[in-house]
Amino acid sequence: MSLIVQKFGGSSVADAESIRRVARRIVETKAAGHDVVVVVSAMGDTTDELLDLAGQITDDPPQRELDILLTAGERISMALLAIAITSLGVQARAFTGQQAGVITDTAHGNARIIDVTPSRIQATLSDDAVAIVAGFQGVTAQTNDVTTLGRGGSDTTAVALAAALGASVCEIYSDVDGVFTADPRIVPAARKIPRISTEETLELAANGAKILHLRAVEYARRYRVPIHVRSSFSSHQGTLVTDELAEDGPMEDPLISGVAHDRSQGKITIVGVPDVPGTAARIFEAVAAAGCNIDMIVQNVSAAKTGLTDISFTLPLEQANAAKAALAALGGELQGAEVLYDDTIGKLSLVGAGMRSHPGVSARLFGALRDAGINIEMISTSEIRISVILRLEDLDEAVRAIHSAFGLDAAEVEAVVYGGTGR
Ligand code: ASP
Ligand code: MG
């Protein structure tokens, strides 16, 4: 008998009917002879609604109290799901993150799991009951306060529990059938990827693909937990995220796994900064101190006459104000440089482990963008990824063009989007 951890996202438990559907699915897994631990997200858009409510009260709610507020969302869904399973004649018990032994550091709003002590979950399984755990939350040992793991953090709860309990697989259920070669909402010809490495999944997730919480994949990689990404609306096989090689799989890494896109970044350009040692350090120290997460950075060659250069960088849209304020506060240190901000950029990333050993991938990418008449504004690469910044209005077309140029289009439409807004 094996232990399976199943995680259901918000769109899978959006209303009473959905909760009953998910309960039936859990009961089926149990009836097939498995032990089942379930991790659940808040119903539908509950987390956003709770955040909106707090925002209507003040612009700056204290993080500790915000965490208590947000964890209420998962408490509702976990209790309703336990009630639904019990009504089907199977024992179920719901647990908060704290009760489930999810111990975190003290970083309210973005806490990291430092230990999992799931003795109550194990006791529940020994009693032949299903354990339901509220995702996205834990408790910090220092103060005994409730913490949250950051938006989308229920995936991480699920993988952490799967690792701690030695589960055979962590199934992540959402409203799409798995990880696709591109977002099926933009590329109808996107294909489901049957199997993908954690390294490629990390690159896709870090570059805008809304498949899995980044930290969940990091956790799965470190503790070797296989993740099965699948839909709660169908019984299709989804995508297996694992570094174990398939017995009958290909001998080589796939050239391209997929195309990710991201519309959540803005670009700041500082025009006319002195090209002398220390300028970049000064700029990025200030921006870092303001808590901004920089992504791409480009510095131009300086104009010989003036000794001045331009530096551009991208960052999450919601951090742009903080960065602009930090740069303005540098004032005279930038010697009259001008700060420009652009919130209409899009980022496209091509990911594939095979590009490590295959020349010509960037040439093909740039050629396809040229053929589509799309201009590139910034470029960055890693060993297994090429990313470009484009005009936001060109992004969807660019994703489709690149998807075709690399032969990823399916002959027939396979992707079905079952739910609403993602997870
Ligand atoms: N409910 C939380 C959120 O919406 C956590 C999650 O869904 O994983 O971010
Ligand atoms: Mg959610």
pLDDT of residue 421: 46
The torsion angles phi and psi of 10, rounded to 5 degrees, stand at -55, -40
Helix (H) or strand (E) holding 323: helix 320-330
Domain annotation covers residue 154: yes
Q: Based on the fold, state whether residues 218 and 365 are members of the same structural domain.
A: no
Question: Within 191-247, where are the H helices?
Answer: 198-206, 214-223
Domain annotation covers residue 413: no
**What CATH number is associated with residue 122?**
3.40.1160.10
Q: Based on the fold, state whether residues 326 and 370 are members of the same structural domain.
A: no
Q: In this structure, which residue's CA is closest to atom 9 in ligand 1? A: 151
Q: Report the separation in Å between the CA atom of 229 and the middle of ligand 1, taken as the mean of its atom positions.
A: 16
Domain annotation covers residue 410: no
For ligand 1, is residue 402 a contact (CB within 6 Å)? no
Residue 154: nearest ligand to its CA? Answer: 1
Q: Report the separation in Å between the CA atom of 159 and the middle of ligand 2, taken as the mean of its atom positions.
A: 16
Q: Based on the fold, state whether residues 171 and 38 are members of the same structural domain.
A: yes
Q: Based on the fold, state whether residues 333 and 361 are members of the same structural domain.
A: no
Counting atoms of ligand 1 from 1, which one is nearest the CA of 151?
9
The pTM is what?
0.90
- Rounded to whole angstroms, the Cα distance separating 392 from 294 reads 19
Q: Report the separation in Å between the CA atom of 42 and the middle of ligand 2, taken as the mean of its atom positions.
A: 6
- Rounded to whole angstroms, the Cα distance separating 257 from 194 reads 11
Q: Based on the fold, state whether residues 243 and 274 are members of the same structural domain.
A: no
Counting atoms of ligand 1 from 1, which one is nearest the CA of 10?
7
Counting atoms of ligand 1 from 1, which one is nearest the CA of 150?
9
Counting atoms of ligand 1 from 1, which one is nearest the CA of 136?
5
Q: Report the separation in Å between the CA atom of 292 and the middle of ligand 1, taken as the mean of its atom positions.
A: 22
Domain annotation covers residue 39: yes
For ligand 1, is residue 136 a contact (CB within 6 Å)? yes
Residue 321 sits in which domain range? 269-342
pLDDT of residue 415: 66
The torsion angles phi and psi of 385, rounded to 5 degrees, stand at -150, 145
For ligand 1, is residue 10 a contact (CB within 6 Å)? yes
Identify the CA nearest to 81 among candidates 140, 147, 176, 10. 10
How far, CA to CA in Å, does 143 sit from each of 100, 103, 113, 331? Answer: 17, 11, 15, 40
Q: Based on the fold, state whether residues 214 and 279 are members of the same structural domain.
A: no
Domain annotation covers residue 312: yes
Q: Report whether 243 contacts 224 (CB < 8 A).
A: yes
- What is the total count of domains within the chain? 3
Domain annotation covers residue 65: yes
Among 154, 213, 215, residue to substitute to test ligand 1 (most atoms within 8 Å of Cβ): 154
Domain annotation covers residue 423: no
**What CATH number is associated with residue 367?**
3.30.2130.10
Residue 44: nearest ligand to its CA? Answer: 2
Q: In this structure, which residue's CA is closest to atom 8 in ligand 1? A: 152
Domain annotation covers residue 419: no
**Angle in degrees, CA 82, 133, 196, rounded to 5:** 115
Q: Based on the fold, state whether residues 182 and 298 are members of the same structural domain.
A: no
Q: Report the separation in Å between the CA atom of 223 and the middle of ligand 1, taken as the mean of its atom positions.
A: 22
For ligand 1, is residue 406 a contact (CB within 6 Å)? no
Q: Report whether 194 contacts 37 (CB < 8 A).
A: no
Q: Report the separation in Å between the CA atom of 367 and the middle of ligand 1, taken as the mean of its atom positions.
A: 39
Residue 419: nearest ligand to its CA? Answer: 2
End-to-end Cα, the chain, rounded Å:
30
Q: Report whether 270 contacts 284 (CB < 8 A).
A: no
Counting atoms of ligand 1 from 1, which one is nearest the CA of 74?
1
pLDDT of residue 1: 72
Counting atoms of ligand 1 from 1, which one is nearest the CA of 157?
8
pLDDT tens track of the chain, all 423 residues?
A: 799 999 999 999 999 999 999 999 999 999 999 999 999 999 999 999 999 999 999 999 999 999 999 999 999 999 999 999 999 999 999 999 999 999 999 999 999 999 999 999 999 999 999 999 999 999 999 999 999 999 999 999 999 999 999 999 999 998 889 999 999 999 999 999 999 999 999 999 999 998 899 999 999 999 999 999 999 889 899 999 999 988 887 777 789 999 999 999 999 999 999 888 999 999 999 999 999 999 999 998 877 788 899 999 999 999 999 999 999 999 888 878 899 999 999 999 999 999 998 989 999 999 999 999 999 999 999 999 999 999 999 999 999 999 999 999 998 877 676 655 444
For ligand 1, is residue 47 a contact (CB within 6 Å)? yes
Q: Based on the fold, state whether residues 240 and 376 are members of the same structural domain.
A: no
Q: Based on the fold, state whether residues 133 and 240 are members of the same structural domain.
A: yes
Q: Based on the fold, state whether residues 297 and 187 are members of the same structural domain.
A: no
Q: Report the separation in Å between the CA atom of 248 and the middle of ligand 2, taken as the mean of its atom positions.
A: 36
Q: Report the separation in Å between the CA atom of 45 and the middle of ligand 2, taken as the mean of its atom positions.
A: 6
Q: Report the separation in Å between the CA atom of 385 and the middle of ligand 2, taken as the mean of its atom positions.
A: 28
Q: Tokens 């590009």, residue?
A: 355
pLDDT of residue 272: 92
**What CATH number is associated with residue 281?**
3.30.70.260
Q: Based on the fold, state whether residues 164 and 278 are members of the same structural domain.
A: no
For ligand 1, is residue 104 a contact (CB within 6 Å)? no
Counting atoms of ligand 1 from 1, which one is nearest the CA of 154?
8
Q: Based on the fold, state whether residues 276 and 185 are members of the same structural domain.
A: no
